[in-house]
């Protein structure tokens, strides 16, 4: 970041600290902070000095916090004046980082957007974190707005030494075959709370039969927290032979918003964010001038765009989007820039939370996880006008036909993600996220394990060809290439250079020589 002269006095000052809950603060300069034990608990907030920012009211400011993380994990970001919404991305650091510089970027610093700088505990497991803050300084940047998307230098993707776990492949080798493919891989700044990713926790979360009763009025639901996490997209090229694999980053894009998933639709690059879509004309289109604010020509919005997860092409002009907030599948016409069909999980199976009409905005009144019907997290086109879907809470894999008729194919795969139609156009594959397993469903049988990745959270899977699969290991921030015919991994690669965690993948090109 291009820092200009320091703003004096700064936007925030150590002596103004407001202490929250069971936080323990020792000293002032430096300030030694021990947070409460709960993950996400606020420890200390600092009010903004708006008068210090007025001379740079139309300029982006960088708030730089110099600190040392002694234990746990710490997040630092800026909140709205009411303290309920993040107005910046959160900068995150862990004890292994030691001496750390947190850069928090502020737009419209002299307006009503920002009220507080917050330091909070982001460590999982019910343990407090400790940080020593040495200074909080504010700098001008010369920029008038924060870029929504930013092209970044492509990093080297290192291979991870790994002992292949015992798999279920037959051990047969394919000789003289080199496979090449490209993929779109998304990343997030969000770290995992491992206490909330177990099968038992997820099942219990939805087990209460009364959880959908006595709900607050829809109009009283607040919007989802915006700008809480940033993200990125990597376009990777993979080469696999009979012995090994190599991964090369071809293009990397960082985003101030969390990119959930990405696909190519009729040559367009469609980015699926949590509450909107962005459409770029090609996979190579420049991003420096793309504006993702509401009303932008790059952006598509809809009232049911809340908690979006995946996007897949239906045709050259239509894509299919899954919405966990609405528990819905949405067909979006990219030429018309609107939803042309919508389908929700059936009430006779999943119950009722809110009788949504197309005009009721889940973006403005977010139906949060605990009162969702099933947390529908993937919708994959079946090629016949319908789709396959997966739900996190019940662990359902199901089919929706072209007329909206619903057929349950499997239940009990709690924590599942990423259902897809296999290349043979008959079987389905999906990720048993909690169990770390690649799974398959044959039309005449229930789910069977294809591979145990030894992962605490397998976020997504993709099929490259008949026997080669790509696995996204969220707990390790790695991707693994599994060759079932050879009965082993061809390679495992670390993505720490691109964010805290890998998310969803889309295989966009595959060939063999």
In this prediction the pTM is 0.84
Q: What backbone phi and psi angles, to 5 degrees, belong to 509?
A: -160, 135
Residue of higher predicted confidence among 246 and 124: 246
Q: How many CA atoms lie within 13 A of 260 on its CB side?
A: 23
CA-to-CA separations, 206 to 197, 222, 374, in angstroms, rounded: 13, 21, 8
Candidates 29, 3, 24, 7; CA nearest to 135 is 29
pLDDT at residue 112, as a whole number: 63
Kindly report the number of other CB atoms within 10 A of residue 288's CB atom.
9
**Cα 382 vs. chain centroid, distance in angstroms?**
25
Which percentage of the chain shows pLDDT scores above 70?
Answer: 94
Q: Is the pLDDT of residue 368 over 80?
A: yes
pLDDT at residue 167, as a whole number: 45
Candidates 424, 376, 423, 422; CA nearest to 400 is 376
Q: Which domains does the chain have, with CATH numbers?
A: 14-140 (2.60.120.260), 149-171+181-192+230-512 (2.120.10.30)
Q: For 456-512, what is each residue's pLDDT tens digit?
A: 999 999 999 889 999 999 999 999 999 999 899 999 999 988 877 899 999 987 655
Q: For 160-170, what is each residue's pLDDT tens digit?
A: 987 655 444 43
Q: Is the pLDDT of residue 513 over 50?
A: no
pLDDT at residue 90, as a whole number: 82
Residue of higher predicted confidence among 360 and 288: 360
Q: Is the pLDDT of residue 135 over 60?
A: yes
Q: Lowest mean pLDDT of 83-92, 136-145, 200-209, 281-290, name the range.
A: 83-92
* β-sheet with 299-300: strand ranges across: 259-265, 268-273, 277-280, 299-300
Q: Is the pLDDT of residue 171 over 60?
A: no
**Please, what is the average pLDDT of the chain?**
90
Q: For 271-293, what is each residue's pLDDT tens digit?
A: 999 999 999 999 999 998 899 98
Q: Lowest mean pLDDT of 153-162, 257-266, 340-349, name the range.
A: 153-162
Which percentage of the chain shows pLDDT scores above 90?
Answer: 68
């Amino acid at each position: 970041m291009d820092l200009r002269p320091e703003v004096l006095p700064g936007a925030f000052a150590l002596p103004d600290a407001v202490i929250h809950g069971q936080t323990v603060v020792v000293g002032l300069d430096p300030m030694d902070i021990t947070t409460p034990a709960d993950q996400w608990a606020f420890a200390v907030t600092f009010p903004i000095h708006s008068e210090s920012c007025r001379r740079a009211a139309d300029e982006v400011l960088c708030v730089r916090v110099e600190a040392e993380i002694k234990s746990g994990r710490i997040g630092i970001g800026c909140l709205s004046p009411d303290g309920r919404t993040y107005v910046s991305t959160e900068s995150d650091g862990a004890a292994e980082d030691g001496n750390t510089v947190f850069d928090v970027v502020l737009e419209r610093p002299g307006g009503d957007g920002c009220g507080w700088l917050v330091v909070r505990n982001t460590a999982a497991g019910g343990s407090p974190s400790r940080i020593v803050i040495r200074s909080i300084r504010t700098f001008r940047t010369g920029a008038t707005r924060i870029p929504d998307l930013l092209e970044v230098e492509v990093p080297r993707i290192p291979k991870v030494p790994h002992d292949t776990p015992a798999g279920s492949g037959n051990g047969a080798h394919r000789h003289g075959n080199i496979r090449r493919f490209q993929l779109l891989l998304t990343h997030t700044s969000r770290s995992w709370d491992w206490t909330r990713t177990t099968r038992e926790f997820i099942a219990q979360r939805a087990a209460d039969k009364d959880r959908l009763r006595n709900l607050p009025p829809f109009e009283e639901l607040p919007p989802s927290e915006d700008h809480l996490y940033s993200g990125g997209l990597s376009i990777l090229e993979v080469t696999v032979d009979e012995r090994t694999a190599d991964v090369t980053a071809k293009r990397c894009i960082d985003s101030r918003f969390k990119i959930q998933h990405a696909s190519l639709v009729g040559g367009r690059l469609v980015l699926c964010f949590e509450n909107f879509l962005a459409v770029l004309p090609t996979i190579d289109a420049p991003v420096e001038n793309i504006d993702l604010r509401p009303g932008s020509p790059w952006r598509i919005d809809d009232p049911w765009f809340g908690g979006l997860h995946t996007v897949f092409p239906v045709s050259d002009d239509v894509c299919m989007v899954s919405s966990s907030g609405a528990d819905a599948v949405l067909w979006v016409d990219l030429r018309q820039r609107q939803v042309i069909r919508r389908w929700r999980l059936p009430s006779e199976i999943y119950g009722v939370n809110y009788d949504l009409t197309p005009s009721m905005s889940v973006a403005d009144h977010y139906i949060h996880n605990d009162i969702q019907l099933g947390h529908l997290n993937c919708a994959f086109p079946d090629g016949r006008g319908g789709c396959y879907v997966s739900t996190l809470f019940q662990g359902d894999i199901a089919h929706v036909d072209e007329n909206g008729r619903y057929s349950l194919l499997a239940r009990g795969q709690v924590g599942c993600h990423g259902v897809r139609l296999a290349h043979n156009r008959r079987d389905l594959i999906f990720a048993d996220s909690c169990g770390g397993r690649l799974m398959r469903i044959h039309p005449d049988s229930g789910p069977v394990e294809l591979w145990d990745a030894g992962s605490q959270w397998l976020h997504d899977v993709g099929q490259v060809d008949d026997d080669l699969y790509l696995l996204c290991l969220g707990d390790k921030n790695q991707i693994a290439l599994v060759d079932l015919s050879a009965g082993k991994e061809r390679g495992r690669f670390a993505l720490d250079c691109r964010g805290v965690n890998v998310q969803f993948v889309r295989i966009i090109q595959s060939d063999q020589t």
